[in-house]
Amino acid sequence: MPTREHEIPLRLVQNQPALAPALLESLGFEVPRHTEALNTNSVLTNCDPKEFNSDGAVVLRQGTENVMALVVERQHGHDQDKRRSWPAYLVTLHVRLECPTMLLVLCPSEAVARWCAQPIRTGHPGFDLSPLAIGPSRVPKISDEQQARNLPELAVLSARVHGDSDPGPLRAVVEALDSTAEENRAFYYDYVLAGLNEAARKELEGLMTVETYEWQSDFARKYVGIGREEGRQEGRTSEAVKNVISILQTRGFILSAEVRERIESCADLPTLEQWVPAAVKVDRPEDLFD
């Protein structure tokens, strides 16, 4: 419980709003010109709750200890509202996991990466956030097949970014696809293919053809066997199913066997694409099907 000696200085500031800026000036901090000073609500919990949902978050652990966390964002253009939310993402995860926390932003172009990397001014001295932005030039080029097998997701990014100008990452990504989880293969392949120019796309499709690909990966055999378009559709459907379940679980819902089975058995992509945004808003998982 605060003593009287501790309480009086705080009360002085609370009762005289102009005193707080005066104290800042005494610390050598330049206070901006203003016409009045008013007390505002000191309860810092958001009274109008806003969900802060990053695109991804990763925690690194040493045994049972959290040693670092990463907030991962994908940014395709300029969005000031999104940038203003990034410090909140970082602080929230830092408080929750009690470990150093960093922000990593993946960008499709160098221009967007430069914009994202600009410091976000919070106003407090020394408390500015400089996002770690990665554009195409900072994505490592993975051409070694063994390295691609060890780091398949990085090989996928490498093929998407560098595949137009170098066939090495395309050859490596076929090995990467074969070593990653089966449910991700068609989705990753479609992602790489969609980002390539026409010549590189034909090169990758040729590598995926069993008759011409020397190693004849299991994935290539299965993918070509079921047909490329069917395989892409299967990958998108599988990803949508995972997204619906992930969103509901992230919101704290415990899915019944019936709800999970209905989501996982849905093979209609348009329906699943409607369920993804609905999963963010429903009051209970069963409402998803209304």
Q: Do 290 and 260 form a contact (C-beta atoms < 8 A)?
A: no
Instruction: Return the domain boundaries, the chain.
Output: 1-30, 56-137, 151-226, 238-289
Q: Do 101 and 70 form a contact (C-beta atoms < 8 A)?
A: yes
Closest residue by Cα to residue 182 from 240, 247, 234: 234
Residue 5: pLDDT band (50, 70, 90) is very low
What is the per-residue pLDDT across 14-60, written as a single tens digit (0 to 9) for each? 555 555 566 566 566 666 676 766 665 555 555 555 666 777 788 88
Closest residue by Cα to residue 286 from 251, 262, 250: 262
Q: Which two tokens stand for residue 1?
A: 């419980």
Closest residue by Cα to residue 162 from 171, 170, 151: 170
Q: Which residues contact 3 (CB under 8 A, 6 or more apart)?
A: none
**105 DSSP β-pair partners:** 73, 133
Pairing of β 101-106 and β 132-134: parallel
Q: What pLDDT score does 215 carry?
A: 40
Residue 115: pLDDT band (50, 70, 90) is very high
d(Cα 229, Cα 176) in Å, to the nearest integer? 20
Query: CA angle 238-269-274, nearest 5°?
Result: 110
Q: Which two tokens stand for residue 169?
A: 């990452």
Residue 169: pLDDT band (50, 70, 90) is very high
Residue 118: pLDDT band (50, 70, 90) is very high
